[in-house]
Amino acid sequence: MTVIAIDFGTSNTAIAILASEENCDLGLPKTLLFEEISQGFATAEGQAWLVPSLVYVLESGRGYGEFLFGEQARSQYQLENQSNHQLNQQSKRLFQGFKRDIVASFRSPACEIDGKFYDAEAITEIFLTELWQRLALKGFQPTQVIFTVPVGAFEGYLNWFSNFAEKLRVSNFQIIDESTAAALGYAITRPNALVLVIDFGGGTLDLSLVRTAPIANNRATQNQVVKAEEIAKSDAYIGGIDIDRWIAEYFLRQLGIARSRIGEPCWLKILAIAEQIKIKLSLVQEVQEDWIDHNQVTHKLKLSQDELMEILEQNQMLEQLREAIDEVLTIGLNRGISKAAIEQILLVGGSCQIVAVQQLIISYFGKSKVKLGKPFEAVAHGALALGQSLKIEDHLRHSYAIRLWEPYLHQYSFYTLFEKGTKYPCQRAEPLILQAAIAGQTEIWLDIGEVADISQAEVTYDNAGRMTSSQLLKQSDFRSLAANSKKSEVDQVCIARLDPSGQLGSDRITVNFEIDDRRVLIATVRDLLTDKVLIDQQAIAKLE
């Protein structure tokens, strides 16, 4: 038996394996090293080998492949950018941060290179397929594959992974959220342990309050397996690549250079330097690096830990972290769990190594509770536990609502059906009663979607060059499940057909909603005028 876990990240990707010989128990999880494309990261528990999530498109006609990956992609980009005449062209050949693009609501347009078009989905598939092929070259034939995803991943992203697994002809695969996996990766398997996972990587911030509890093993009642119950979740669309951009913009501001003047190649260079400075500031108080601008002038870029903290405060990143922690603690308190009851705070992801982030978290919970031993491997190693006997008791990651047309207001509104954090299987206590939106209406569509809170803040500069920012604004984002271009087998538009046609001002149908134990949303629709069941237990969508 061979179980593979793939923790696909915005900045880096970890692949771990749990293998056993015939008639032997599974061994310990191991993160795989891929020669030439992996990069080593020092941790408290030793070297962690990750593959940078980078793809470089080679020029046509070279005769040795179309793409380079990971460290090879980074090296090729740096090598070819040493020739100034190649800068504008070569900067477009490097793809990075593409995970975040496919998670986002609005995606960048496809990029044309040598007559071919590449969008985020295409590059992601190329990248993960390469890693899959390298597994085969190492002789691994997985019997089970586990993908990890952010807590706030929308249905479209999850469906993309399902479709990708089908292309790889992987029949036995699972999807688990990264925060739950991280708790398991820190070996938190004691019954009734209560931990808070803070997963802060390159693209997203995910928090998950998790409790473990014993349940009976079906194979032997004297044994126990561990069931992880997620009590509360929170997430924000913010990560390390945002911090790199803020640092680079800070340097340009200090130098009095407009970003529009330096061009994309120089911008990518200063971004790379900003990332290195950010990483080094986790270990030292101040860092200085050289940057050569578009006029071949060398500048000394210097940044201290205090200045980085100020940048994070001004861009309200620390405020978003505070709000995410407060949200999880509030949900926990509403369920009878105090902050003092949380036993450990587990930090995961490269951005959790930033001193200001650690200081904020320690100020909430105390230094003794905060753990940072496996920032890069905890997710992949924890996901492997699902390949054994672990069971997960989960709650909905998002709120789900129905979008309604208000004929008198001439606008759409949405009505919440199930709140974020609802435990399933479950049923709505009361049916939803709907009217026709227009006179003579013959169909009522049940437009169901996911609802998430989006936070935004605008950063500006005063006459003295000091950063200022507006108040952190929150708004709800509705994403229709019917709008997904690639649906699972249960995703379908639910339409109630009316005969006779509906009239304005009169209640016409009742809808009963329920969620089964597979997280499938099911609807039953009855016509109030004819007392006929129009839709009987129809599966509408797989929820997350």
pLDDT of 516: 86
Residues 6+ apart with CB under 8 A from 385: 181, 184, 185, 189
Q: How far apart are CA 199 and CA 398, in angstroms?
A: 18
- Asked if 198 contacts 351 with a C-beta cutoff of 8 angstroms, the reply is no
Supply φ then ψ for residue 144, to 5 degrees: -155, 140
CB-side exposure of 282: number of CA atoms within 13 Å? Answer: 15
pLDDT of 249: 95
Q: How far apart are CA 151 and CA 147, in angstroms?
A: 13
Q: How far apart are CA 421 and CA 233, in angstroms?
A: 7
pLDDT of 459: 47
Cα→Cα distances 362→48, 79, 103, 210, Å: 25, 42, 30, 19
pLDDT of 513: 93
What is the CA 263 to chain-centroid distance, rounded?
A: 30
- Asked if 15 contacts 48 with a C-beta cutoff of 8 angstroms, the reply is no
Instruction: Give all strands (DSSP E) within 178-297, no chain letters.
Output: 194-200, 205-216, 224-236, 286-292
> Which two three-digit tokens encode residue 49?
């080998």
Helices (H), 104-239: 120-137, 155-167, 178-185
Q: How far apart are CA 267 and CA 272, in angstroms?
A: 9
Q: How far apart are CA 58 and CA 27, in angstroms?
A: 40
- Asked if 108 contacts 283 with a C-beta cutoff of 8 angstroms, the reply is no
CB-side exposure of 169: number of CA atoms within 13 Å? Answer: 2
pLDDT of 398: 76
Q: How far apart are CA 177 and CA 30, in angstroms?
A: 20
Q: Is 459 exposed, middle or buried (0-12, 13-18, 19+ CB in 10 A)?
A: middle
* Residue-level pLDDT, tens digit, the chain, 544 residues: 788 999 998 889 999 998 765 434 456 788 999 999 999 887 777 788 999 999 999 987 554 458 999 999 988 887 776 554 444 444 578 898 888 888 766 667 888 888 889 999 999 999 999 999 999 999 888 888 899 887 666 677 878 888 898 888 887 888 887 777 887 788 776 667 889 999 898 888 989 898 865 444 444 333 344 456 778 888 888 899 999 999 999 999 999 999 888 888 788 889 989 999 999 998 899 999 999 888 889 999 999 999 999 999 999 999 999 999 999 999 999 989 999 999 999 999 989 999 999 999 999 999 999 998 888 999 899 888 765 655 555 677 678 888 887 777 778 888 889 887 788 889 998 899 998 888 889 988 888 888 866 554 454 545 554 444 455 455 567 778 766 544 444 545 678 899 999 988 889 999 999 998 777 889 999 999 999 999 998 888 777 6
Q: Coil, strand or helix: which one is 347?
A: strand
Cα→Cα distances 535→358, 435, 437, Å: 52, 16, 19
Cα→Cα distances 427→22, 254, 369, 418, 481, Å: 45, 57, 38, 9, 20
Q: Coil, strand or helix: which one is 213?
A: strand
Q: How far apart are CA 209 and CA 345, in angstroms?
A: 9
One-letter amino acid at 99 equals K
Q: How far apart are CA 511 and CA 540, in angstroms?
A: 13
Structure-token match 């954090």, residue found = 421
pLDDT of 223: 36
Q: How far apart are CA 68 and CA 56, in angstroms?
A: 5
pLDDT of 219: 42
Residues 6+ apart with CB under 8 A from 462: 468
pLDDT of 412: 82
Neighbours of 411 (CB within 10 A): 9
pLDDT of 74: 87
